[in-house]
Structure 1
Amino acid sequence: MLNTPATMLTEIELFSKAIRQQPKQKSTRRYHEFICENIVGVIENTFPLFSGTQSADDLNQLANEFIYYHSATEPEFHQIATEFVQFIQNKVELMPRLLKLIEYEWVTFNAEIAMIRTNETHSSWEEISAQPNAFTLSCNAVMQLIEVPFLVEEDAVNFLSKDEDSVVYGVYRTKENIVVSQKLRDIDVAIIQLISQTPKITLAKAEQHIHTHLAEFNFMYWVHSFTQNQLITIQFLGDKHD
């Protein structure tokens, strides 16, 4: 393999530096504008709720600052989105609630592109409820919990009135490749954390644990509901886990 000539490397470095600095030279400026437009496109498509809070000038300014200050090493579409989040977290002074909005949208985007297959339950609920010791519980393979200071309703975001107010969403992808963002109660979060922190816990053991703390809670109804919406998966003990 031939080595790249030193003169070419120098020229590329100078050209890249010129593009980052919003050049005045017409030919170089076109490259800068093209890259900036692409970055804005990534922001608008990956973070639509956040973009809705910003003017076109604000988005262009963020894109210009990202190009100038942040050295992205893997400029694929999804990698730019990830590095933009890192740039915002480390370089930009942004209202905490807007930062949380960007992080939330990154979580939903990550759930969409994650190269993980979600498990399917083939047994009937009658079989599962009749043999709770024979089935294990696990969370959806791409599920992430995120605490945020706002409510998401369809394509709108409503920020909560008090700084200390927050809600938790479980973000995951179904076997139909639909990304779901489900608002959770405290009890939902507690059970999901129990399942996440106890690999291969059986349905019977989980029910026993919950009844120790909440005797009146209908755990089996909860499991049935959360397997129906695919946030929780059930697997027969004899099946192989991926």
Structure 2
Amino acid sequence: MATNTVVPALLVEMEAEFSAQLRARTPIGGTCSSGMSLYRKIIRDNIGGVLRSVFPLFCRCLNEAEIRELVEVYLSRHSASQPEFHQVATELLLFMSQHYPISPHDLALLEYEWLMYAVEIDDSNVPFPQKISLPLGKAAEVDVACNPTLKMVALPFLIQEGEPCYEDGEQLNYYALYRKHNNTLYQKQLSQLDVQLLSAIHEQIISAEQMLNNAALSLADISLRSWLETNNNDEILSLKYIG
């Protein structure tokens, strides 16, 4: 019994010492083993690699010294212990949003890049698009569902050819971020009405007839039919005949 109570305590102590040595800006005591030195380098290189891969637009605003400093601050102040690539990306975003001096525009840029990455690794199956028209009297026979990878975001800047454009004042700009059936990442600027309509069907399946009825006060019947057909073609949503 004594062994069972002592060993976990020793393991906890050893793990704490290892973590402290790994996270310290400089080796504790001024030196460390060659193995620890190599592991410290690997960890920092991996975190820097995640930063550059997932947040390339943000990293373009930093020089190499600033990126290295960000990695050091993250290691010393953040307690994340999950090493998987996508978890490191999420932990970096959480850390910078909560504990790192960053402007609202830069934070919005980070969140946009993280969402693009989340869409890219989403393992949801995007259905092959069916070209469907909605003739009068047939709306009850068609289901409407959002693209399962769809993310909507409001940004304080425009995205033009994949680049942030800060010449639009403080106006919020809405975008749909999603993956098409061929795994191509895509983004489309949305109007406030687009956001309203997509939010009404997000994470559920409704009939086109129900959607026409719900939107009757804000959009003419023929306009909504056109909106559904256009966004079906763009793969933001999918239309499918029931049965």
State whether TM-score is above 0.5.
yes
What letter is aligned with 1:227? Answer: N
Provide the rounded CA distance (Å) in 1 between the counterparts of 2:66 and 2:83: 22
SS of 2:61 mapped into structure 1: coil
Change in CA separation of 1:125 and 1:91 when aligned onto 2, cut-off 3 Å? same
For the 8 Å contact 1:112–1:179, the answer to whether it is kept is yes
Provide the rounded CA distance (Å) in 1 between the counterparts of 2:56 and 2:91: 17
Q: Residue 18 of structure 2: which of 15, 18, 34 is its match?
A: 15
Sequence identity, in percent? 26
For the 8 Å contact 2:158–2:168, the answer to whether it is kept is no
Q: Which runs of 5+ in 2 are unaligned?
A: none
Change in CA separation of 1:15 and 1:225 when aligned onto 2, cut-off 3 Å? same
What letter is aligned with 2:91? Answer: E
Provide the rounded CA distance (Å) in 2 between the counterparts of 1:148 and 1:160: 13
Q: Does 1:49 align with 2:57?
A: yes
Provide the rounded CA distance (Å) in 1 between the counterparts of 2:101 and 2:233: 41
How many residues are treated as equivalent by the alignment? 233
Q: Residue 177 of structure 1: which of 159, 165, 183 is its match?
A: 183
Shift of 1:6: 4.9
Shift of 1:29: 4.0
Q: Residue 91 of structure 1: which of 79, 88, 99 is its match?
A: 99
C-alpha RMSD over aligned residues: 2.3
Q: Does 1:168 align with 2:174?
A: yes
Provide the rounded CA distance (Å) in 1 between the counterparts of 2:238 and 2:159: 25
Shift of 1:230: 0.3
Shift of 1:36: 1.2
Q: Does 1:192 align with 2:195?
A: no
Mapping 1:32-181, distance limit 5 Å? 32-122=40-130, 124-126=131-133, 128-129=134-135, 131-162=138-169, 164-181=170-187
TM-score, with normalisation over the residues of structure 1?
Answer: 0.86
Q: Which runs of 5+ in 1 are unaligned?
A: none
Provide the rounded CA distance (Å) in 2 between the counterparts of 1:7 and 1:85: 33
